A and B are shown apart, each in its own frame.
Chain A
Amino acid sequence: MHRKRNEILKQIGLHVFLILILLLVMFPILWIFSLAVDPRNIDKPLELTLIPPGASLAAFRRVLLEPWQLLCRNPNDPSSCMTFLLLLKNSLIVALGTSLIAVLLGASAAYAFSRFNFIGRQAGMMGFIVLLMLPASATLAPLFVLLSQIRIGDESLRLTLVGLMLAYGSGTLPLAIWNLKGYFDTVPKELEEAARIDGASMAQTFLRIILPLSVPAIAVTILFAFMSGWTEFILAWTFLENPERFTLAMALRSMQGQFATPWSDFAAMSILMSIPIVLLFFALQRYLVSGLTVGGVKG
C-alpha cells in the first residue's frame, strides 16, 4: 500500500516536471501563432494574449493566395509574380532532390566504408569529420564561380535548381555517410555471408539485405537532407536569379524588410513552412530514436 502511494506520487511528480518543460517548449510556438492570427500585421501587441482581439486567418489567406509582389519577373505585371504554390513546387523539387542525392550516394559510399577493408578507408572517415569542421563562410565565392562554369544546355548550373540540390546534397553527405555507415555496421555480416553462399552478388546483398534492414537510418538521412534543402536560403539567394525558381525559404527571407516586416504574414508563412517538416518528424519519429547512430561509430 505504501509502495503504491509512492509510485503514484512519483508519477505526479514526473508529470509536473514534464508539463513544465512542455510549457517552455510551447511558449515561442504559441507566440508565433498569436502573431499570425493578429489582424494588425504588426510586431507590437500591447499585451500577451494567445488569441488577440479581432483574430483572423487573413494573414494565412494573403500568404497562400495573393501573388508575391517582391518576387516577380516583371515588377509591373502581377501575373508574372510568384505564388505560394509555385514556390512550394520549387521547394519540394529542391528538398526531394537533396534527399535523393543524400540517400543514393550516401548509402552506396557508406556500404563501402562499412563492409570493405580498402586502402584509404581510415583517411576517408577522418576526412568527413574534417569536412564537418571546415566552415564554409568563404567558399560561397569559389562555388559561385565553379558552378557558373559548368553548363547544362544553354545556362550555367549555378542558376538552376539542380545546382542547388547538388550543393545541399554535398553538404549533407558527410553526416549521412557517417550515420549510415554506423547503422550498416550493426547489421550482422552472417546474413550477407549466407546470401553469398546462395549465389547472390555483392550488389544484390547490398540492395536486398542491407538496405531493407536499414530503413531507420535511411529515414533519418531523408529527414536531415529534406530539412536542409527546405530551409536553406543564403546560398540560394546568392546563386539564383530568375524569380520563377525561387523557393519558400527565399520568399520568407524576402519578407524581412529593411525597415518594416509584416509580422502577421511572416508568422503565417513561418507556420506554413514548418508544417511539412514537423509532419515529417512525426511520421519518422519511431525511426529517429533507432536510426540516429552517430552513437554507433567504430573506427
Chain B
Amino acid sequence: MAVVEASAPISAATRRDSLLKRVKDSRTAWLYILPAGLVMLVITLLPQLYQVWMSFTDYRINHLRFVLFKPDTWERFAPTFVGLENYVKIVTNDLAIQNYDVWRLLLFNVTWTVVNVIFHVGLGVLIALALNNKELIGKRLYRALFVLPWAVPGYITALTWRNMYDYRFGAFNLLLAEVNSVLGTNLPTDTRWLELTNPPIGGPLSFLPLAFYAVLLANVWLGWPFMMVVATGALQSIPGELYEAASIDGASGWQKLWTITVPLIRPAMVPAIMLGTILTFNQFNVIYFISEGGPFGRTEILITQAFKLVYEQRLYGVAAAFSIVVFFVLLIITLLQNRVTRATEAYYA
C-alpha cells in the first residue's frame, strides 16, 4: 500500500494531520497484533536470535547449562566466541562427519526441490483440470480420496514408505514378484531400493542414486494434493463465459489452456509454489525417515544434516550456523523466483 504519494502539493498541516492519523491507526493496529506478536517474540523470535548468536560460538553439549539470565552460570558454561569459524568449516568441508560435502548437499537439495515442485504442480494442475469437468460423475468422491496423502500425518507416511521399500518383504518387491507370477516376466524382486549406489541414470544425473527416485516418488505422492486443492480453487473462479467466447472464436482446447487457464490460475499458483518450495526444501520427514540420507549421505539434505549435527554429534554451534546457511539459500531462491515470476507477469500484462 502506497504511503501518501504527493501528486499535488500538500500543505504541511494536512501532512502533519495524516501522519498523526497514521500514528493513531498504528497504535490500534499494534494492539490487535500484540497477543500474537508477544507469543511469537518469546517462542519463535528469541530462540531464532539465540540461534544466530550460537552460530558464532563453539556451543556444545556442556554449554547447555549456560543460562543467559543466571550470571552465576556465565563463567563456567558460557561458550567461546569463535567468529565465523563454524561457517568457514561448513563451506570448506572441514567437519568431522562421515560423507560430508557441502556442495554435494547444496546441489542435491536444489535438485530435490526443483524436481519435486515441478511434479507437484504439474500433477496437481493436471488432476484439478481433469476434475474440473462439469459432467464428470463421482467428482466429489475423487476429490475427497485424493486429499488422503495430505491428510495422513507425515511421519506415518514416511515410515510406511520405508517399510514398502524393504528389499526382502517390502510392498514394491512383493508387487514385482506378483507381476512376475501373473505375466511370466522376470523382473528383479530383490532390489535394494534405498541402498544401491550405482545411479540408474548416468551422465549429468549420475549423482542421484536409486534412493533419490525412491524418496522422490514418496514425496510426489505426498505433495501433489496441496497443489491440486489450490489449483481447483483457482479454476473454479474462472468464469465459464471466457471459454465459451474462445470456442466461438474457434480456439482449440490447447489454445484455451494456454491463453485462458494458465494466465488466470497463475496469481493463485505463484504464492503456493513459493510456499511449496520452502516446505520441500526443508522436507525433513521424507528424507530422514525413508532414506536416512543414505546411501553414503548421497540423499542427505541440509536440514537433515543440521538435525544430525544436533542429535548425533551434539555440535549445536555448527548446527546453528547450518540453519543460517539454509535460511540464506532459501532467501536467494525465493528472491530469484520472485524476479522470474515478476518478469513473466509483465509479459502477460
Contacts and interface: CB of A to CB of B under 8 A. Distances in A.
Interface stretch (B98-106, B149-157, B191-199, B200-208): B149-157
A88 interface: no
A26 B32 CA distance: 44
B155 A169 contact: no
B46 A146 contact: yes
A233 B284 CA distance: 13
Interface string B169-189: 101001101100000000000
Interface in B14-38: 22-23, 25-26, 28-33, 35-37
Given A112-B30, A134-B323, A278-B152, A25 B160 contact: no
A274 B151 CA distance: 7
B7 interface: no
A1 interface: no
B47 A142 contact: yes
B154 A231 contact: yes
A292 B229 contact: yes
Contacts of A129: 334
Interface stretch (B230-238, B241-249, B339-347): B230-238
Contact of A145 (B55, B67, B147, B171): B67
A171 interface: yes
A285 B30 contact: no
Grouping DSSP codes into helix (H, G, I), strand (E, B) and loop, the B interface class, with mixed when no group exceeds half, is helix
A117 B68 CA distance: 37
A143 B149 CA distance: 31
Grouping DSSP codes into helix (H, G, I), strand (E, B) and loop, the A interface class, with mixed when no group exceeds half, is helix
Interface in A102-127: 104-106, 108-109, 111-113, 116-121, 124
Contacts of B23: 119
A98 to B, nearest CB: 12
Interface in B62-113: 64, 67-69
Contact of A277 (B3, B50, B153, B233): B153
Given A18-B131, A139-B48, A171-B44, A270 B221 contact: no
Contacts, number: 265
A189 to B, nearest CB: 13
Nearest to A289: B233
Given A28-B221, A112-B33, A296-B268, A134 B152 contact: no
A55 interface: no
Contact of A31 (B155, B171, B322): B171
A22 B143 CA distance: 10
Given A121-B29, A149-B69, A173 B319 contact: no
A109 B33 CA distance: 4
Interface stretch (A39-47, A56-64, A76-84, A239-247): A39-47
Contact of B42 (A11, A109, A146, A278): A146
Nearest to A47: B174
A7 B135 contact: yes
B320 interface: yes
B136 A14 contact: yes
B210 interface: no
B261 to A, nearest CB: 15
Choose among A142, A263, A274, A278 the residue with the greatest number of B CB atoms under 10 Å from its CB.
Answer: A142
A295 B50 contact: no
B43 A170 contact: yes
A290 interface: yes
Contacts of B216: none
Given A138-B306, A143-B47, 13 more contacts: A22-B145, A25-B146, A46-B174, A108-B35, A116-B29, A120-B30, A136-B48, A138-B54, A140-B310, A166-B39, A227-B153, A278-B148, A292-B233
25 contacts: A18-B131, A29-B152, A31-B164, A47-B174, A48-B174, A101-B39, A108-B32, A112-B32, A118-B26, A120-B26, A131-B40, A133-B330, A133-B331, A137-B306, A137-B307, A137-B310, A137-B319, A138-B51, A138-B316, A142-B47, A277-B152, A289-B229, A292-B230, A295-B267, A295-B271
- The 8 tightest CB contacts between A and B, nearest first, are A295-B268, A170-B43, A116-B29, A142-B50, A118-B26, A118-B29, A139-B47, A112-B32
